[in-house]
Amino acid sequence: MKLVYSLLAVGVLGLSSAFYVNMKPVHADNAIITNTKPIAVSNTHGYKVDVENSIVGWVGSKPTGKHSGTLKLNSGALHADNGLVASGNFILNMSSINCTDLSGKGKESLEGHLKSADFFGIEKNPTATFDITEVKALEVKPEGLINTDATHTIAGNLTLLGISKGVSFPAQVIMADGKIAVKASFNIDRTEWGMTYGAEGKVAKEINLTLDLKASN
Q: For residue 141, give the nearest of 172, 162, 117 by alpha carbon.
A: 172
Residue 54's domain spans which residues? 25-216
State residue 24's pLDDT score: 78
**Contact of 173 with 151, CB cutoff 8 Å:** yes
Is residue 131 included in any domain, yes or no?
yes
Domains in the chain: how many in total? 1
Per-residue pLDDT of the chain (217 residues; tens, 9 = 90+): 544 434 333 343 333 333 344 577 899 999 999 999 999 988 787 999 999 999 999 999 999 999 999 999 999 999 999 888 999 999 999 999 999 999 999 999 999 999 999 999 999 999 999 999 999 999 899 999 999 999 999 999 999 999 999 999 999 999 999 999 999 999 999 999 999 999 998 999 999 999 999 999 8
Q: Can you give the CATH number for the domain in which 61 is found?
A: 2.40.128.110
Whole-number Å distance between alpha carbons of 152 and 173 = 7
Which residues 6+ apart lie within 8 Å of 122 measured at CB? 94, 95, 97, 115
Report pLDDT digits (tens) over 19-50.
344 577 899 999 999 999 999 988 787 999 99
Is residue 69 included in any domain, yes or no?
yes
Query: 5: part of which helix (H) or strand (E)?
Result: helix 2-22
State residue 83's pLDDT score: 85
State residue 9's pLDDT score: 39
Size of the chain, expressed as the number of residues it contains: 217
Is residue 15 included in any domain, yes or no?
no
For residue 199, the SS3 value is: coil
Using alpha carbons only, what angle is made at residue 88 by residues 83 and 147, rounded to the nearest 5 degrees?
75
Q: For residue 121, give the nearest of 97, 139, 101, 142 by alpha carbon.
A: 97
Query: 110: part of which helix (H) or strand (E)?
Result: helix 104-115
State residue 25's pLDDT score: 86
Is residue 11 included in any domain, yes or no?
no
What is the tally of helices (H) and strands (E) in the chain? 2, 11
Is residue 44 included in any domain, yes or no?
yes
Is residue 6 included in any domain, yes or no?
no
Is residue 180 included in any domain, yes or no?
yes
Is residue 82 included in any domain, yes or no?
yes
Cα dihedral 87, 206, 113, 110 sign: positive
